[in-house]
Each structure stands twice: as C-alpha cells, then as structure tokens.
Amino acid sequence: MAQKVREVMTPEPIYVKESTNLIEAARMMRDRDIGDLIVVREGEILGMVTDRDLVIRGLAEGRDPKSTAVGDISSTDVITVEPDESVDKVIELMREKAVRRIPVVDEGKPVGILSLGDLAMKKDKDSVLSDISEAPPQR
C-alpha cells in the first residue's frame, strides 16, 4: 500500500498573515528553527516565504524590513496537496515543479508541510540528505 502524505509530513505548519513584516518573519524562523512560513489571508494560503526570499527579495532589493510585508515578497504560485495523497505522486509533482516543500491542506486550510528533508528521513534513512536533515542546526 502506498504511503500517504500524512504519514511523512511535518504537522502543524507555521503560518503568518500576509501583513507580517520581514523582521517578525525572520525572528519566527530563527526561534522555531525553520526556513519557511506559509503566508495566509483570512486563513487561506496566499503563498510561501523562505529565509532565502527574505534575503533575495527583501534585503538585497533594499526593502525596509520593518515596513515590508511578507505578502509583498512571497511566492504566490504555491502548489498544495492533501493529506491522503500518495507520497510517490507528490515526489513526482515536486520533481516536475522543482519545489522543495509543499503545504498540505485539508479543506483549504494548512495542516502540514512536506519537505524534501521529510521525504529523505522517512523513505531513505541512509541518504546524505537524511543525515543533513536530522543534524542539529549550526548556529
């Protein structure tokens, strides 16, 4: 039987309102030791913002991190999957769309996030990616 997304996803994803400023988003990522946030508008997924987005689309563009909202720099062409989707189908989707993480939604609401690291740790514990994903962060 095929493995389901709910079996490998990280539950309870961290999300922020589109109006959250870049400093607050960066602090959330730091404090929770994550590299991405789901951006929502009225509980629905609007986009995603990563630590790289904060640097490339925010700071490198000279935007004021106190007054720039994550909604202004987030990726809005977000692909989502449902918890009962087959992991193998999602792996193909990630490969096809060249994405490293996908929000998991149930009735349009974020319930998890599935990353390459999650897949590596669950599907191939001996892989280099799994070793890196399980290692404590460098500070």
Q: Residue 131 — pLDDT band, cuts 50, 70, 90? A: very low
pLDDT value for 132? 37
pLDDT value for 129? 39
* Helices within the chain (DSSP H only): 22-32, 51-53, 70-73, 87-97, 116-123, 128-134
pLDDT value for 120? 81
Q: Residue 54 — pLDDT band, cuts 50, 70, 90? A: very high
Burial zone of 126 (CB within 10 Å; 0-12 exposed, 13-18 middle, 19+ buried): exposed
> What's the chain's length in residues?
139
Q: Residue 118 — pLDDT band, cuts 50, 70, 90? A: confident
Residues 6-36 pLDDT 10s: 999 999 999 999 999 999 999 999 999 999 9
Residues 59-103 pLDDT 10s: 999 999 999 999 999 999 999 999 999 999 999 999 999 999 999
Element (H, E) at 87: helix 87-97
pLDDT value for 74? 96
